[in-house]
Structure 1
Amino acid sequence: MFLTKAHEKASFNPAFMFGTVAVASMTLVSGVSHAQSSVTLYGIADVGIEYLNNTAAGGSQVREVSGNLSGSRWGMKGVEDLGGGLKAIFVLESGFNINDGTSAQSTRGLGPNPATTTRLFGRQAWVGLNYNGQQLTLGRQNALIYDQSVTFDPMGVSSRYSALSVDYALAARVDNSAKYTGKFGPFTAQAQYSTRYDTGYGTEVPGAELTGRFFSGALTYASGPIAATAVYEQRNSNTVATNTSTERRVLAAANYNFGPVTAYAGYRYLRASNAFLPANPIAVANGSEANAANLYWAGAQYLITPSFQITAVGYYQDVHSTGADPWLAVLNADYFLSKRTDLYATVGYAHNKDNSALGVNGYGTVAAGHNQTGVTIGLRQKF
């Protein structure tokens, strides 16, 4: 995988980070075994200048923005060898906005009742055990659909100008979750369950076992130049009165490597109950009662030289029962000054019709029914 994707994978598996710096280590010796533990500090600082036209507030805008190709972050990962192939592991990862120093995941406001949280480690906070390719972790973790979208979206579900612009849940994180990952030859099987996937709406409700529940499963195949995945997830509404309402997604995607070129294709089906809370993103975005949509994408990455890469991709959202079917086209050029530092430029164009409101940065970021062009030039540094 190319540098762009490898560094983004650090958001859910910091072992792939380049240039991480070990900040603490110790050796424990007992009479029958030798165990070693370490803690590693890592992070990404990503900032750029963005131009947008037809903004939701009207007119054009030039601004400095944090987290473009990769969300700016710092984190710590730890591992302790317990012997016999068993390891204890943890990750604490905090997102931040480098342009103003604020936390990137401390607040959110989905649906008619905005939820507010104070999260220090808003990107990830989990602990678990790993044994010979089998892993179980507990805490705030990336959703399985996020894990797979990083690999199968040509833009790696980057913070802007990616599949994330069309569906916020493709980069979702899940509170109070248990996550299993098992490797079986070329196959990886995963399962995830949460007792309350977004504590911004409160903690688990006694006697209301369906409220805020989350279920997900994934099966991925990777061998040689080809990789493919299938993911299913279901979220129950976060209110007791509507907890039988659900939001369900199915994702299927594949990529194939032809030497310096990697081709990508993906599909996501979404169906949401009209009473789902957070609010149905389709109905809100298009001002309709639509509750289902198909998202398709196709694209490619071309590593022209070891230091220069181009990515091109198109996303098309087919909203059921309406003509509000927007599409988004993205072109990115990335020049690597070193393994840790790169300069990039990204251009995106969102096309809307029948009053849809898809902007290059997501639904609701453009004046309804208007098209939008966005350009970002930025610098990213990994440590």
Structure 2
Amino acid sequence: MRKQYKPALKLAAAAATLLSGAATAQSSVTLYGQADMFVGGLKSPGSGERAWVANSGGMQTSYWGIKGTEDLGGGTKAIFDLNGFFRTDSGSSGRFDGDGMFTRNANVGLQNATFGTLKLGRNTTPYFISTILFNPLVDSYVFSPTIFHTYRASSVPGKLNDPGIIGDSGWSNSVLYSTPNFNGLTANVIYAFGEQPGKTSENKWGANVMYFSGPFAATLAYQQVKFNIQPLGDISVPAGFDKQDAVQAGITYDFKVVKLFAQGQYIKTRVNGAGNGGDLKHTNGQVGMSVPVGAGSVLISYVYDKTKNDVTDFKRNTAAIAYDYNLSKRTDVYAAYYYDKRNDAEHGDTFGVGMRHRF
């Protein structure tokens, strides 16, 4: 009798093992991120003094995260991403004191190859994605001219406060929809709720379209902000702030021996009330290139900007050059120089050498 049950028991054990393996294959959780650290000197325009630093995030802001998927069948997956910034120089979380734990991304959603992807929570904005993919220094808040002209504040004291893009590179309380890839063409739409009773019109929304085909790529992005503050930089939202509209276009072409970049941007910040200087109009253009040299690339970028209101204006020329050398697929070292000159102030510049490791 016992011998008759042995084959059945073995078969049941084998089936349980196979089912366990299938369940494991249908879901996954990944720990990922990068650590970036540099040493160098910083001097802001008009400051006259240089600070010598060992700082986090020279080429990119350091971050870590946990993301996962579960196969729900029928080509649909449940997805989540919890991703936050940290500072390697101090071990502190966030980009600055008071920044949340998962401000890079904190969302849950559904993904389908036919119908696209829907994410709920805190999401990176389509406008930010278009900004970083079409300039050679990507999202460096230390050395990228495009980032400075888009997400960093600047001012003529007492006359003009230009906050840059209001609302950060990620939006809380948001819904993000991304289309499937149509032969290289994709689109993303984001909406963030105001979450204030009786003020449903105080909200944020934005979208982009991106096209990638062989060596050529192009993008068009737009966003509108009716509330929120500028979390980065030294200048808060201008007094009397009402609404901000921003539009940007970018193209790249990779000739193999050199990859060329170009961007154009217009930001209009509407300001109400006497004595506030009127609406801010910010226009800038960027050209750049990435040139493969040895195991790395030389990165060059230049941006010209004119910002004005009813009282005054300023012009700004910003340039950067860097060499990024790959020690491996996950580790690189870099040296970079950044120059920033506004017509009403002494120039500023930043230089440094650093290391970045992805995991």
Where in structure 2 are the equivalents of 1:161-176 lying within 5 Å? 161-162=143-144, 163-168=146-151, 169=165, 172-176=169-173
Match of 2:89 in 1: 99
Match of 1:124 in 2: 105
1:42 to 1:35, Cα distance in 2 relative to 1, 3 A: closer
Match of 2:254 in 1: 257
**How far off its partner does 1:159 sit?**
2.1
Look up the SS of the partner of 2:79 in the other structure: strand
Conservation of the 8 A alpha-carbon contact between 1:328 and 1:348:
yes
Conservation of the 8 A alpha-carbon contact between 1:39 and 1:77:
yes
Match of 1:8 in 2: none
Where in structure 2 are the equivalents of 1:22-61 lying within 5 Å? 27=21, 29=23, 36-53=26-43, 58-61=48-51
Cα distance per residue 1:308-330 (max 9 Å; x no partner): 21000101111135441111100
Calculate the aligned-residue CA RMSD, in Å: 2.4
- Determine whether 1:73 maps to 2:63: yes
Conservation of the 8 A alpha-carbon contact between 2:268 and 2:279:
no
**How far off its partner does 1:150 sit?**
1.9
**Gap runs ≥5 in structure 1:** 1-25, 108-116, 197-203, 277-282, 355-368
TM-score by length of 1: 0.76
Distance 2:199 2:44 in 1: 44
1:377 to 1:106, Cα distance in 2 relative to 1, 3 A: closer
- Determine whether 1:320 maps to 2:308: yes
Match of 2:182 in 1: 184
Look up the SS of the partner of 2:314 in the other structure: coil
**How far off its partner does 1:58 sit?**
4.3
Match of 2:234 in 1: none
Radius of gyration: which is bigger?
Answer: 2
Determine which of 265, 268, 271 is the counterpart of 1:274: 271
AA at the equivalent of 2:303: Y
Match of 1:114 in 2: none
| Aligned pairs, number | 310
Look up the SS of the partner of 1:167 in the other structure: helix
Conservation of the 8 A alpha-carbon contact between 1:35 and 1:82:
no
Look up the SS of the partner of 1:148 in the other structure: helix
Determine which of 343, 348, 355 is the counterpart of 1:372: 348
1:338 to 1:238, Cα distance in 2 relative to 1, 3 A: closer
AA at the equivalent of 2:353: I
1:70 to 1:244, Cα distance in 2 relative to 1, 3 A: closer
AA at the equivalent of 1:313: S
AA at the equivalent of 2:70: E
**Gap runs ≥5 in structure 2:** 1-19, 152-164, 230-238
1:268 to 1:347, Cα distance in 2 relative to 1, 3 A: same
The alignment-based identity, stated in percent, is 31
Conservation of the 8 A alpha-carbon contact between 1:86 and 1:129:
yes
Cα distance per residue 1:184-219 (max 9 Å; x no partner): 2221011110003xxxxxxx11111123x1111211
Cα distance per residue 1:118-156 (max 9 Å; x no partner): 511121101111111511101111111111122111111
**How far off its partner does 1:370 sit?**
1.3
AA at the equivalent of 1:193: Y
Determine which of 122, 130, 138 is the counterpart of 1:156: 138
